[in-house]
Structure 1
Amino acid sequence: MNKREHSSLDVLLTEVRACRACAQDLPLGPRPIVRAEPDARILIVGQAPGARVHASGIPWDDASGDRLRKWLGIDIASFHDESQFAIIPMGFCYPGRGKGGDKPPRRECAQLWLDRLLEKLPEIQLTLLIGQYAQHHFLGTNRKSSLTETVRAWQEYAPAIIPLPHPSPRNQAWFQKHPWFESEILPMLRGRVESLVTRDLRQVK
């Protein structure tokens, strides 16, 4: 990474965070929540911020985030180290509530910003696609007929991409129904993340 790359991404992130493209359709107003630095090697692509994350402005600052960090085998400080993890959801703002939970992420975010952001992240070696919206966008016709089948076929996308279910507490029944996810996929996921996370050598005596 050089200073020009860092400055270029900073400028773009400032534009993203000032975006008001669909302000009239957001019940709590716009608050784009995106984090990245040019030397990040792991990209997390989720759905969209929930109401709690909208309020705090901190990505994955909820029960889903607690479970996700446990899946990855990392602490909260490492998770929020932007030089390690870029966090770019499919929808940057809280979309509001629907009948069965939060509404789908708005499409404007990916249309306006996603490719431009990804171009500024040349060091990404692992992309975690969390949930059906991220998998639909990134995998396209290469995804399977259901999220479960796509997650189970992770070897077809690894090592660069790993599809995951959403860690929401609402998915507890899914986790219980598919114990192979915890026994087979999580050890692989933690090993892959550990291999990419840079340790601060100054802390190692």
Structure 2
Amino acid sequence: MLQRILVWDVPTRVFHWSLALSFAGAYLTAESERYRDIHLALGYVLLGLIGFRLLWGFVGTAYARFRSFTFTPAQVQSYLLSLLGKQPQHYVGHNPAGGVAIFLLLALGLVISVSGLGLHWEIGDEDWWEDLHEVASNLMLLVVLVHIAGVLISSVLHRENLVRAMFTGYKQAESAANLVNAYVWLGVAMAGAILLFLFVYLT
């Protein structure tokens, strides 16, 4: 029997949506000198979020830890093939495809941030940093689009709203551990720190 359980803690949810908004905003302001300060501010937010997620991946709650969604290539392949059948494999936390997407997003986000700093601080060959920054940004956009498509497909096949789950933190499962602590205070602190940083940087 399915039961409603808390899977995603508040910091993980704040990270997820803040990363999405900061990347989208930075991408859209990348070519405009007029919005240069906004682009830079969002880049710093992106870097800070990645730093937090790398730490939270080791000390965070059960489903947020990297070990909970580190899968072998065979497991990823098996999951993708199961989507073609009538009974796709179900995971309470991140599924194998989602796990791959997260690691790619973190890696690309880190490359984008570091190359952006290299450009801003004028370290070494500017053209090299610019090319790396642009390629990594476009690759991240591609991963984001594939990730969104995967979420929509999985939502239909598993008959669960994964987008809503990342807002509420709750999913349906037959038997799984319910998070004891959602770390609401940390999520609120993260959101407040982001807003305060943007306000100070842009004023």
State whether TM-score is above 0.5: no
Question: TM-score, normalising length from structure 2?
Answer: 0.30
Name whichever structure is richer in helix by fraction.
2
Higher relative contact order (CA 8 A, sep 6+): 2
